[in-house]
Chain A
Amino acid sequence: MSLLEINNLTTQFKTNQGTVSALRDVSYQVEAGEVLGIVGESGSGKSVGMLTLMGLLASNGRVTSGTIKFDGEDISPSNLDSKKKRNDYENKMRALRGNKMSMIFQDPMTFLNPVLKIGIQMTEGILAHTKCTKAEARKRAVELMKQVGIPSPKNRFEQYPFEFSGGMRQRIIIAIALACNPKLIIADEPTTALDVTVQAQILELIKKITKDTGTAVIMITHDLGVVATLCDRIAIMYGGKIVEEGTTDEIFYKSKHPYTEGLLKSINNSEKDTSEPLIPIPGTPPDLLNLPKGCAFMARCPYTMKICKAQQPVTTKYSKTHSCSCWLYCMDESYITVS
């Protein structure tokens, strides 16, 4: 049994302009101790997917269908049609969040509360989930700060976020995520907001932690370079859907989807032959308000066929781990339902 099983998850947001389909029929699993990378451009639904998983969607967001199973427990956020169901779900999630399942956020500048001491922000989660005294929580927090590489943690404990540098704050956020020895950590672009030199340190830290603790990690990023060194498996998202999924090797060496292909061509890699040019993907990400009837990547795809505009592509499996949703690999009339 997988640690996390997500099936057919669909999330929508009601806005003034209409309904935004941020997540469309997404399914994937995470095994215990595994590192899964989810890659996509901004607006591809990767962050929304994680917030849906954690039950932290903004009030205008709604999960219209799908199931989530975590560590043997059903935590599906769909069909919460009565107040009691919503409360039950919220209580269940509260017990899990920051405990068995925690999150590392993107921007260390805004995710720490500016008017609370670091120590309070570190211990409050521990105090909420474990039966321990304030002194014990404090001890644990200092331990965690040491673990994530913060010098003189005892003095730092009494300081406010603005007295920390960006990299140090991100370390604090990681330490908070680690506080209760979670089984799953979701890292939402943990290095995007940092300087390049600090990015490498933080990635190194996350790698070390996953190795030491055996925690499963979902790594969300728009940077294939980040996932290459860190992840066991990679899922590529586009327009609220997973378009290709496989092991790191399969994605890097046997990629199928034109979008993955484009992503690979556009990464800057020092090992790459310098004569090989960087090729950006033309066009802009799709407007989730007006998604096309067919494939969302159609408008930017170099291989668009007539069917791509009319019908969503079907998923083809290449191995136990590798699958891709694209018409190019299943040109079989029997899949066509439109006329």
Chain B
Amino acid sequence: MIKYIIKRILIGIITMLVLITVTFFLVRLMPGSPFEAENVSASMIGTLEKEYGLDQPLYKQYINYIDKVLHGDLGVSYKKGISIKELIKRGAPATMSLGIITFIVSAVIGIILGIWQATTKSEFIRGLLVSYATLGVSLPNFITALLLIMVFGVWLHLLQIVGLSTPKHYILPVIAQSFGPIATISRLVKTTYTEAMQQDYVIMARAKGLDKMHISIRHILKNAIIPVITYFGPCIAFLLTGSFVVESLFSIPGIGKEFVNAISNRDYTVVMGLSIFIGAAIIIANLIVDIICSFVDPRIKLTN
């Protein structure tokens, strides 16, 4: 198992290097100088480029950049004049708190709905849950967010649609963000749970005279949950990229909003720095999920 974890960490490091390299060269390929603005003269640009080392050969810039990133320095925003580290520090609390709440809500409700869907005898409820699952998977989160803002914020004036200052402010963004993941998780749980229910070991558990609750939790759910845990990695990735629009739409001062602003301002260093940061966060999240999986599923120990 230690071998497996080391292998996963190595892959994570390689992925990180690939991400840094790709973002670096893509950003260098972008048209124009990062300092181009209406009130900046050509000579000014030259001096600034020299100051930031942009006049050096590309490979040197690349080595410098990797060196900096490895030391935790993601560069500075040329347009705003502050370090990207500082931007992340400012945005992290909002993004983290929203992300964690959304993740927990998605996992808990998704699993409950999935089990419900797999076990209900009522065709009506199953139809309802299946429709929701398809709706949730289909609906882009910015659409969900816009609809929520339109209905609850604008028409009904029930809930706040700007910022995150009170717990009540969390309601709409959390719904908007978790609407899709709940559907995906419930669909997944429904499939894995139904499959586990039909396994021979469930008949065996029943033949032992165990009660239903015991069988559902210990025998069925434990098997059904493993593929769901593997989904938690992509789910975290989805929540992070989803935060781009949701934070912008609800004016939440998080990393996602900063990222979208940087895109529309063409603030390349910020796009690059935040891409690397978000990518790293996702790679680490995937790694943690993989390690948790190897603990829950004893078979991984042997096969890897």
Please list the residues of chain A having a beta carbon within 8 angstroms of any beta carbon in chain B: 51, 54, 56, 93-99, 102-103, 105, 107, 110-116, 120, 124-125, 128-129, 160, 162-163, 173, 176
Evaluate contact between A95 and B297: CB separation under 8 angstroms. Answer: no
Contacts of B219 in A (CB 8 A): 113, 116
Let me know if B222 is at the binding interface, CB within 8 A. Answer: yes
Chain A: CB-nearest residue to B199: A110
List, sorted by A's number, 15 A–B pairs whose CB atoms are closer than 8 Å: A103-B204, A107-B200, A110-B200, A110-B201, A114-B223, A115-B223, A115-B226, A115-B297, A116-B219, A116-B222, A124-B205, A128-B208, A128-B214, A129-B209, A162-B299
The distance from the CB of A185 to the nearest CB of chain B, in whole angstroms, is: 11
Residue from A93, A105, A173 whose CB has the most chain B CB atoms within 10 Å? A105
Binary contact track B14-54/A, C-beta < 8 Å → 1, others 0: 00000000000000000000000000000000000000000
Let me know if B211 is at the binding interface, CB within 8 A. Answer: yes
Let me know if B207 is at the binding interface, CB within 8 A. Answer: yes
Contacts of A125 in B (CB 8 A): 208-210
Q: A98-B208, A113-B219, A173-B204 are in contact. List 4 more A-B contacts (CB 8 A).
A: A98-B209, A112-B204, A113-B201, A113-B205
Chain A: CB-nearest residue to B220: A113
Let me know if B218 is at the binding interface, CB within 8 A. Answer: yes
- Known A113-B223, A116-B218, A162-B302; judge A97-B208 contact (CB<8 A): yes
Evaluate contact between B201 and A111: CB separation under 8 angstroms. Answer: yes
Contacts of B296 in A (CB 8 A): 115
Evaluate contact between A56 and B203: CB separation under 8 angstroms. Answer: yes
Contacts of A51 in B (CB 8 A): 203
The distance from the CB of B221 to the nearest CB of chain A, in whole angstroms, is: 10
Let me know if B72 is at the binding interface, CB within 8 A. Answer: no
Evaluate contact between A54 and B207: CB separation under 8 angstroms. Answer: yes
Contacts of A111 in B (CB 8 A): 200-201, 203-204
Q: Give the 4 A-B residue pairs with the shortest CB-CB distance, closest first.
A: A125-B208, A98-B208, A97-B209, A98-B209
B:277-304 near A, CB below 8 Å = 296-299, 302
Partner of A128, one of B211, B222, B223: B211
Q: How many residues of B contact A (CB 8 A)?
A: 23
Q: Please, how many angstroms separate the alpha-carbon atoms of A99 and B299 in the complex? A: 31
Contacts of B211 in A (CB 8 A): 94, 128
Please list the residues of chain B having a beta carbon within 8 angstroms of any beta carbon in chain A: 199-201, 203-211, 214, 218-219, 222-223, 226, 296-299, 302
The distance from the CB of A124 to the nearest CB of chain B, in whole angstroms, is: 6
Evaluate contact between A124 and B298: CB separation under 8 angstroms. Answer: no
Contacts of B207 in A (CB 8 A): 54, 56, 97-98, 102-103, 105
Contacts of B206 in A (CB 8 A): 56, 97
Contacts of A107 in B (CB 8 A): 200
Chain B: CB-nearest residue to A163: B302
Contacts of B222 in A (CB 8 A): 113, 115-116
Q: Please, how many angstroms separate the alpha-carbon atoms of A166 and B90 in the complex? A: 58
Residue from A98, A112, A113, A162 whose CB has the most chain B CB atoms within 10 Å? A113
Q: Please, how many angstroms separate the alpha-carbon atoms of A111 and B223 in the complex? A: 13
Residue from B207, B296, B297, B299 whose CB has the most chain A CB atoms within 10 Å? B207
Contacts of A95 in B (CB 8 A): 209
Q: Please, how many angstroms separate the alpha-carbon atoms of A174 and B219 in the complex? A: 19
The distance from the CB of A163 to the nearest CB of chain B, in whole angstroms, is: 8
The distance from the CB of B100 to the nearest CB of chain A, in whole angstroms, is: 27
Evaluate contact between B208 and A124: CB separation under 8 angstroms. Answer: yes
Q: Please, how many angstroms separate the alpha-carbon atoms of A79 and B211 in the complex? A: 23
Contacts of B226 in A (CB 8 A): 115
Q: Please, how many angstroms separate the alpha-carbon atoms of A114 and B203 in the complex? A: 14
Q: Please, how many angstroms separate the alpha-carbon atoms of A54 and B205 in the complex? A: 12
Chain A: CB-nearest residue to B210: A128
Contacts of A115 in B (CB 8 A): 222-223, 226, 296-299
Contacts of B205 in A (CB 8 A): 113, 124
Contacts of B223 in A (CB 8 A): 113-115
Contacts of B297 in A (CB 8 A): 115
- Known A114-B299, A115-B296, A116-B218; judge A128-B209 contact (CB<8 A): yes
The distance from the CB of B192 to the nearest CB of chain A, in whole angstroms, is: 12
Q: Please, how many angstroms separate the alpha-carbon atoms of A54 and B222 in the complex? A: 25
Residue from B200, B203, B208, B222 whose CB has the most chain A CB atoms within 10 Å? B208
Chain A: CB-nearest residue to B205: A113
Residue from B199, B210, B211 whose CB has the most chain A CB atoms within 10 Å? B210
The distance from the CB of A16 to the nearest CB of chain B, in whole angstroms, is: 16
Q: Please, how many angstroms separate the alpha-carbon atoms of A93 and B209 in the complex? A: 8
Evaluate contact between A162 and B209: CB separation under 8 angstroms. Answer: no
Q: Please, how many angstroms separate the alpha-carbon atoms of A120 and B223 in the complex? A: 15
The distance from the CB of A121 to the nearest CB of chain B, in whole angstroms, is: 8
Chain B: CB-nearest residue to A113: B201
Residue from B203, B204, B297, B299 whose CB has the most chain A CB atoms within 10 Å? B204
The distance from the CB of B94 to the nearest CB of chain A, in whole angstroms, is: 38
Evaluate contact between A124 and B201: CB separation under 8 angstroms. Answer: no
The distance from the CB of B69 to the nearest CB of chain A, in whole angstroms, is: 40
Partner of A94, one of B200, B201, B209, B302: B209
Contacts of B214 in A (CB 8 A): 124, 128
